[in-house]
Amino acid sequence: MTQPGDDLEDIRAAREARGPVLRKSPGPTAWFDIRRTRTGHWAFSLNRLSSLGLVAYLYLHLAVLSLLLGGENSWHSFLKLATTPLFLGFDVLLIFGLLFHGLNGLRVALVGSGVAADRQKALFWSLMIFGAILLLGATLHIAGSG
């Protein structure tokens, strides 16, 4: 039985297709290399860091939602803690992470697909300005509810 990828023609076609630049990985220590000042480097590093933060949040979120299994009192105790100014501040940090990771990821996907590949810096800053406006709106909404 032929396995996907067995055909060298398929492999060659896939390599020539639009997509990520295949290069040797720089390694995590390079994420914090302050000698690199290019926007793309910092966008990549912050994307990696935000991804780790969001994965940690995914499991924290599942743990918090498990409190619902304990009944109404258990959930009410969490709500009292979650509506303190410190936790509302964490909400803003979470929204920053989601917006940065999502919008930068959108840029990476568009550029990798060949869309605006020669204008990626302009695309990055346009999306970041859009994200900053959304973050401001979300922060005002959260602050207004607290």
Partner 1 sequence: MTDTREMAETGLRRSRTWKATASSGAALLVLVTVHMIAHHFVVEEVGGLRTYAQVLDYISNPIMFAIEILFLVVVTTHAMLGLRSVLFDFGLSTRAKRLVARGLLALGIVTVAYGVTLIGVLAAKA
- Note the residues at the interface with partner 1 (CB under 8 A): 5, 8, 10-12, 14-15, 17, 19-20, 22, 25-28, 48, 51-52, 54-55, 58-59, 62, 65-66, 68-69, 71-72, 75-76, 79, 82-83, 87-88, 91, 95, 98, 102, 105-106, 108-109, 112-113, 138, 141-142, 145-146
* Dist. CA 55–CA 61, nearest whole Å: 10
**CB of 28 or CB of 40, closer to partner 1:** 28
User: Smaller CB distance to partner 1: residue 19 or 121?
Assistant: 19
As measured in angstroms, the least distance from the Cβ of 82 to partner 1 is: 6
Burial label, 57 (beta-carbon count in 10 A; 0-12, 13-18, 19+): middle
DSSP-assigned states of every residue in 68-102? GGG-HHHHHHHHHHHTSHHHHHHHHHHHHHHHHHH
